[in-house]
Amino acid sequence: MLKIFTLLALSSLALFAADGEKALNINAVIMFFIFIVGTMGITKWAASKTKSASDFYTAGGGISGFQNGLAIAGDYMSAASFLGISGMIFLHGFDGMIYAIGFLVGWPIILFLMAEKLRNLGKFTFADIAAYRLGQKEIRTLAAFGSISVVILYLIAQMVGAGKLIQVLFGMEYEYAVFMVGALMIIYVTFGGMLATTWVQIIKAVLLLSGVSFMAVMVLYHFNFSFESLAVKAVENHSLGEAILSPGGFISDPISAISLGMALMLGTAGLPHVLMRFFTVGNAKEARKSVVYATGFVAYFWIIITIVGFGAIAFLNSAEGAQYFVDGKLFGGSNMASVHLSHMLGGNAFLGFISAVAFATILAVVSGLTLAGASAISHDIYANVINPNATDEKVVKISKITVVLVGIIGVTLGIAFESQNIAYMVGLAFGIAASANFPILFLSIYWSRLTTRGAFIGGFMGLITAVALVILGPNVWVQILGNEKAIFPYAHPALFSVTVAFVSIWFFSKIDTSDRAKHERELFRGQNVRANTGIGAAGAVSH
């Protein structure tokens, strides 16, 4: 493993030498390598502790509520959140907050209605819950499709962030940067599994929270700790003027507003890499605690990132900030606003730190995503559908192969989608999670009349509707495919696709009168008892 890493490091250094317009930042490079070496050490340690499939997927269930809270918050504070939201605030002001709030309010809802039941019914993936009393084959296939779609979309967003970041710092070719992230991620996940992924995530969460806090304090320091003065300066320096202080043209009509809101909130409850984290703790009590910590960290992060975003407006759009613009556009795109801001505030050393943190953020999140994608294939499809008698070893091996495949797909698509705003891409991933994963999960927990047929047909209809409407919508149909007018007028399809999913699941369950359906409905009683009490839950601590 160390050999691979050394090769990777050498080849990337060689690439840095082939520099473009911006000079190589030594501080940043040193920070990068400290982080990479450190996390490789963790991966090595984790690899030695990862023996069974349970270790690989859930770190053996031995993560504490506080640690898991940090890790969940880490999964949340992805490149899209950190770079994307601060970039959005930099461009549009308050509109960036609409995303932030949507991401956050999904949390309490998951906690109140689902976290505990997930923990009590599941083992490795969220499909375990839906497949508890329904047909393994159908439900797991469906869930795997949903998970993979979300994982890939989310992965693209992170890859784009990583590529841009490294491009800005080293003048390294975008494609090579994306490739490097892909390679590192594959190493973390294949060798260290969930344990390494979790620890990389925890370390990154701590670094990120301290980094942005420092940035926010520096910004406020320049304005005597008055948000009002900061806002005055930001309004003065932004081309939109006072419009940045209230919702703008970002969400232009009520249907888009409701649809995006729905995607952000319900999507949270359908993100496979976050749902997986409920299985890394020992019991439901710890699962609940971890949500409290996670919500606290994320809430704090959003408040701080607002200050960073406004700081970026105030500082970068000034005479000294002009150096960060090339042809009137921010170098590296709006996603790089907070990175450039760190340079203005703390010089090369702080730029190095923030860049390393941003890079760590991306690595940690892509690792979690890849693991979720790999579990969907190996645990849901392989171990439960294709070969139910597979040994643990075999399943973990399939996972590792999948990790490599997901890595390759992520890199390829990351290159193809280079110019997309990453927060927007994540919005789409949320839309699909809300339409394909959430309805099945929710109804399988709460609705006793649900049948396999209903879930299967309805779930696919939700997924297909979401994907189709995204393709036919303005962002893909017009901006990527170059057509003149979008067939579907709204950028966010969740309102329609979630409705399609719920209605068709309900309808096809309702008309299902088969013996199998009857049997499945009878099983609900037992499932409900377990969901409510945790009796029989995997890995539960006995009292």
Partner 1 sequence: MDKELVKRIKANPKYAELVSKRSSFAIKLAVFMLVIYYGFVLTIAFNREFFATKLSAESVMTVAWPIAVTIILIAFITTIIYVVKANGEFEDLEIAIKNDAKDLL
Under the rule (CB under 8 A), what is the footprint of partner 1? 94, 97-98, 100-102, 104-105, 107-109, 111-113, 116, 227-228, 231-232, 235, 242, 245-247, 251, 253-254, 257-258, 260-261, 265, 285, 288-289, 291-292, 295-296, 299, 302-303, 306, 525-527, 529-530, 532-536, 543
CB of 402: closest distance to partner 1 in angstroms?
Answer: 32
CB of 433: closest distance to partner 1 in angstroms?
Answer: 17
Residue with smaller CB distance to partner 1, 265 or 339: 265
Q: How far is CA 58 from the centre of its chain?
A: 18
Name residue, tokens 């309004």: 235
CB of 347: closest distance to partner 1 in angstroms?
Answer: 30
Q: Please state, as a whole number, how many other Cβ atoms lie within 10 Å of the Cβ of residue 143.
A: 27
CB of 80: closest distance to partner 1 in angstroms?
Answer: 18
Residue with smaller CB distance to partner 1, 62 or 247: 247
Residue with smaller CB distance to partner 1, 236 or 393: 236
Largest Cα–Cα separation, the chain: 74
Q: What angle (nearest 5°) sits at the alpha carbon of residue 471, between those of residues 467 and 477?
A: 170
- Helix, strand, coil shares of the chain, percent, nearest 5, are 80, 0, 20
Residue with smaller CB distance to partner 1, 301 or 353: 301
Residue with smaller CB distance to partner 1, 230 or 276: 230
Segments in 417-473 forming alpha helices (H): 422-432, 438-446, 452-472
With beta carbons less than 8 A apart as the criterion, state whether 343 and 358 touch: no
CB of 543: closest distance to partner 1 in angstroms?
Answer: 5
Residue with smaller CB distance to partner 1, 55 or 116: 116
Residue with smaller CB distance to partner 1, 182 or 261: 261
CB of 129: closest distance to partner 1 in angstroms?
Answer: 14
In 3D, which of 452, 417, 480 has the Cα closest to residue 139? 452
Residue with smaller CB distance to partner 1, 51 or 449: 449
Nearest-10 crossing angle of helices 494-510, 422-432: 10
Name residue, tokens 């890079």: 359
Using CB atoms within 10 Å of the CB of residue 346, give its burial: 0 to 12 exposed, 13 to 18 middle, 19+ buried. middle
With beta carbons less than 8 A apart as the criterion, state whether 382 and 39 touch: no
Residue with smaller CB distance to partner 1, 283 or 335: 283
CB of 289: closest distance to partner 1 in angstroms?
Answer: 6
Residue with smaller CB distance to partner 1, 231 or 422: 231
Q: Mind giving me the DSSP string for 233-298?
A: HHHHHSTTGGGGGS--TTS-SHHHHHHHHHHHHHHHTT-HHHHGGGGSBSSHHHHHHHHHHHHHHH
CB of 298: closest distance to partner 1 in angstroms?
Answer: 9
Residue with smaller CB distance to partner 1, 254 or 328: 254
CB of 86: closest distance to partner 1 in angstroms?
Answer: 15
With beta carbons less than 8 A apart as the criterion, state whether 173 and 413 touch: no
CB of 53: closest distance to partner 1 in angstroms?
Answer: 23
CB of 340: closest distance to partner 1 in angstroms?
Answer: 24
Query: How far apart, in whole angstroms, are the C-alpha atoms of residue 439 and residue 199?
Result: 31
Query: How far apart, in whole angstroms, are the C-alpha atoms of residue 28 and residue 351?
Result: 7
In 3D, which of 373, 434, 444 has the Cα closest to residue 147? 373
CB of 313: closest distance to partner 1 in angstroms?
Answer: 13
Query: How far apart, in whole angstroms, are the C-alpha atoms of residue 25 and residue 352?
Result: 7
Query: How far apart, in whole angstroms, are the C-alpha atoms of residue 175 and residue 180?
Result: 9
Residue with smaller CB distance to partner 1, 18 or 303: 303
Strands (E) located in 69-122: none
- What's phi and psi for 329, nearest 5 deg? -120, 145
Query: How far apart, in whole angstroms, are the C-alpha atoms of residue 98 and residue 82?
Result: 15
Query: How far apart, in whole angstroms, are the C-alpha atoms of residue 472 and residue 470?
Result: 5
As given in the structure block, the two tokens for residue 440 are: 């099945």
Residue with smaller CB distance to partner 1, 43 or 68: 68
Strands (E) located in 110-218: none
CB of 234: closest distance to partner 1 in angstroms?
Answer: 9
